[in-house]
A and B are shown apart, each in its own frame.
Chain A
Amino acid sequence: MLEIQDLHVEIGGKEVLHDINLQIGEGETHVLMGPNGSGKTTLLRAIMGFAGLSITEGRITFKEHDITHMPLHERAQLGMGMLFQRPPTIAGLKLGKLLEVTSGGDLNRVTEYSEYLHMDKFLDRSINLGFSGGEIKRSEVLQLMIQKPDFVMLDEPESGVDLENISLIGNAIAKLVDKDVHIVNRKKSGLVITHTGYILDYLDADFGHVMCDGVFRCHGNPREILKVIKTSGYKECLACQKI
């Protein structure tokens, strides 16, 4: 599904990601962990194709297309999606109007999913304007359910979400990455940034990666990695010689 080779990324002339290599296969969900400021979000933004960063070396391949320099919206059209940790507020643009556009006018689908995510009352509201933390995340998940990406990146989907909402959002995200589909038929893939690991209660991740200072320090079983981080913090990763 996704392959990253020897990727180097600069922001404002300073290299922030160094020699990143990553492969995510069809039907796989990967977890990305690491301390604040280690470059996790930058990696997601580089994969999605946002402005404000430049890829100086390496390449990104998605569904066998070299997308290293492909415009953002073309990557989305090719089947890539992203849940924003802190999406912008767009005053005036109603959530329902955006979903109407992205669903290609399929209002039944919009109604069905917005009811599922308890967002039906928000369709007439400006996107993210005055939304609570949980509402922002539900709106993000709803937009992705309408978009139906084959590969979805989730930037801290559980941050700012209360316990009641976490199961709703967790279950919806599980659907986004085909966790309700038998492993043999699972097609959709995901890359999830998490600090707490709560989201792992809802979706079994297949692989875990730890990023520190713009490099991968560790790859392995996500639950094992989380256990180490929870007990010893990231200093254990930094001291680790196994890499």
Chain B
Amino acid sequence: MPEDIEQMEDLSSTEKERLAQTGLEVDMKNRSGSFFQVDHDIRQVASLEKGIEVLAIGEALKKYDWLQDYYWKLVPKDKDQYTRFVADQPEPRGFVIIARKGSKTLYPLQACLFLSKTPVQHVHNLIIAEEGAELHIISGCASASYTKTGSHVGVSEFYVGKGARVTSTMIHNWGEEISVFPRSAALVEEDGVFLSNYVCMQPVRKIQMAPVAYLKGRNAIGRFSSITVTTPGSYMDLGSVVHLSAEGTGAELLTRAITTGGTLISRGLIEGEVGHTKGHIECKGLILKDGIIHAIPEIKGNVVDTELSHEAAVGKIARDEIEYLMSRGLDESVATSTIIRGFLDVKIEGLPEVLQKQIDSAIDAAEKSGF
């Protein structure tokens, strides 16, 4: 085992636990590689599998000139103040993952970005899956238990080559006064599949993001799933945008949102730019305590043969559902939490089981703390 893994083990048990909730495995069991950054300090870069390269971005840009063809090519530098902030950094932080042609990882790679003392953490990540490669990434982002305020600004650019499959699962565990501004985009080529999953069940001051997928190659698929609980004082503005730019492309945007007093804005946009394309948006929200769930699904068709649809529903748990379970002997609170757990129980098609389990256990942990 590479020496630098040891460095993760100097964390306190509280911090390890916070990280574990986001899917980080400190002992690297069931992981094929790892990147770990605390504030701007890169603590670990490891790749355990052939064909997969994990590098710190500064080092990677020096090592491979060709990365310039990918760096800042999907997310514009001047998109907003946050991207400008990242672009202005003299020394970029973050990771580059390159999955070489045909390489397949059995286990996911973990990328962990931990906010400890710095007021603003910035990262820029490049993920490149070459033709036929299969890459699963779990990025856990968390803040230290003692970190009360701070911001995280992250730019991520995903390149999904011909016939490649990339899944990106993010489980967040921020603090109540942390603000988060990820800026992500993905380019998917012919027969490529890009899955992006976002889970946040813990308090956060503000998070705002709207990752974009450009399905440029024929039959490319993009799927975004988001499972969130918004607690009092939390503000989440989450969206995803998919451009169906080639024949046979398809997209699905799925949201399961609960508010216990916070505000969630759920945006989704699928644009059918050419024929023989399909897209569907599904957003379901449960308001458990007075809070806001604002669903803004948008579908835009530009040609005859594009099929786009959306369904959105926001409400409370139906009384007859609770009573149905009570008639089987469950008391009201168990009946309610059983229904909520079911509501959040999303099986993501195409996601490796180890990652599905990670999502399930993040939800289980939230369930135990009583939503």
**Interface locus among A69-77, A112-120, A162-170, A224-232:** A69-77
Complex CA distance for A98 and B276, rounded to whole angstroms: 41
Structural contact, A48 and B342, CB atoms closer than 8 A: no
- The secondary structure that dominates the B interface is helix
Question: Which of B325, B328, B343 is the one whose CB lies under 8 Å from A92?
Answer: B343
- Answer whether residue A36 sits at the interface, using C-beta atoms and an 8 A cutoff: no
Structural contact, B330 and A93, CB atoms closer than 8 A: no
Q: How far is the CB of B93 from chain A (nearest CB, A)?
A: 39
Chain B: how many interface residues by the 8 Å CB criterion? Answer: 26
Structural contact, A88 and B327, CB atoms closer than 8 A: no
Chain A residue nearest to B256 in the complex (CB): A92
- Answer whether residue B332 sits at the interface, using C-beta atoms and an 8 A cutoff: yes
Q: Which residues of chain B are near A101, meaning CB under 8 Å? A: 330, 334, 338
Q: A73-B332, A101-B334 are in contact. Are A88 and B324 (CB under 8 A)?
A: yes
- Answer whether residue B320 sits at the interface, using C-beta atoms and an 8 A cutoff: yes
Structural contact, A72 and B326, CB atoms closer than 8 A: yes
Question: Which of B284, B331, B338 is the one whose CB lies under 8 Å from A73?
Answer: B331
Q: Which residues of chain B are near A91, meaning CB under 8 Å? A: 284, 342-343
Chain A's interface size range is 20 to 34
- Answer whether residue A87 sits at the interface, using C-beta atoms and an 8 A cutoff: yes
Q: How far is the CB of B285 from chain A (nearest CB, A)?
A: 13
Structural contact, B323 and A72, CB atoms closer than 8 A: yes
Q: Which residues of chain B are near A93, meaning CB under 8 Å? A: 338-339, 341-343, 345
Q: How far is the CB of B311 from chain A (nearest CB, A)?
A: 12
Complex CA distance for A76 and B323, rounded to whole angstroms: 11
Q: Which residues of chain A are near B324, meaning CB under 8 Å? A: 84, 87-88, 90
Chain B residue nearest to A153 in the complex (CB): B327
Q: A90-B339, A93-B338 are in contact. Are A102 and B330 (CB under 8 A)?
A: yes
A-B contact pairs, 18 of them (CB 8 A): A51-B323, A71-B332, A72-B323, A82-B327, A84-B324, A88-B318, A88-B320, A88-B321, A90-B321, A92-B344, A92-B346, A93-B345, A97-B341, A97-B342, A97-B345, A98-B325, A98-B328, A102-B329
Residues of B at under 8 Å CB distance from A?
256, 284, 318-321, 323-332, 334-335, 338-339, 341-346
Given contacts A73-B331, A76-B327, A97-B338, 15 further A-B contacts (CB under 8 A): A50-B327, A51-B323, A72-B326, A73-B330, A73-B335, A77-B329, A81-B327, A84-B324, A88-B321, A92-B344, A97-B341, A97-B342, A97-B345, A102-B328, A147-B329
Considering the complex of A and B, which 8 residue pairs feature the smallest CB-CB distances, nearest first? A93-B342, A92-B342, A76-B329, A73-B326, A72-B326, A92-B343, A88-B320, A73-B331
